[in-house]
Amino acid sequence: MTTHEASTWLDEAASLAPVLLATRAIISHMPAPTNERQALERERHELPAHVANYQRELDATPQENRERRERLAWQIRRVKKRMAEVHARLTVAGG
C-alpha cells in the first residue's frame, strides 16, 4: 500500500467513525432478543390492535375511494390470516 493509499484509507475510516459510533449506540439500546414463543405471544397481543386500526381507517374512508378501501380490506384479511397462523403455531407449541 502506498502512502497515498494509506492516507486515503485513513481519511475514509475517520469519516466513518461517527457513523460506527452512532450505530453502536443504537444497538446497545436494543432489547435483548426474545425466543420464538415470546415473539409470537407479543405478536398475538399486538395484532388485534392492527385490525382495529385498519377497520377504523376503512370505516372513515369514503366509498368513492375504492382503491384505498380495497387496500385496507386486504390488510385486514392479511392481519387476520397472520393471527390464525400465530394462534396455530402457539397451539402446536403448547400455549
pLDDT for residue 53 is more than 70? yes
Other C-beta atoms lying within 10 Å of the C-beta of residue 91: 9
pLDDT confidence tier of residue 34, bands split at 50, 70 and 90: confident
Same domain, yes or no, for 2 and 17? yes
CA separation for the pair 70, 14 (Å, rounded):
50
pLDDT for residue 50 is more than 90? yes
Q: Is 14 strand, coil or helix?
A: helix
Same domain, yes or no, for 42 and 24? no
Give the amino acid at 13.
Answer: A
Total number of domains in the chain: 2
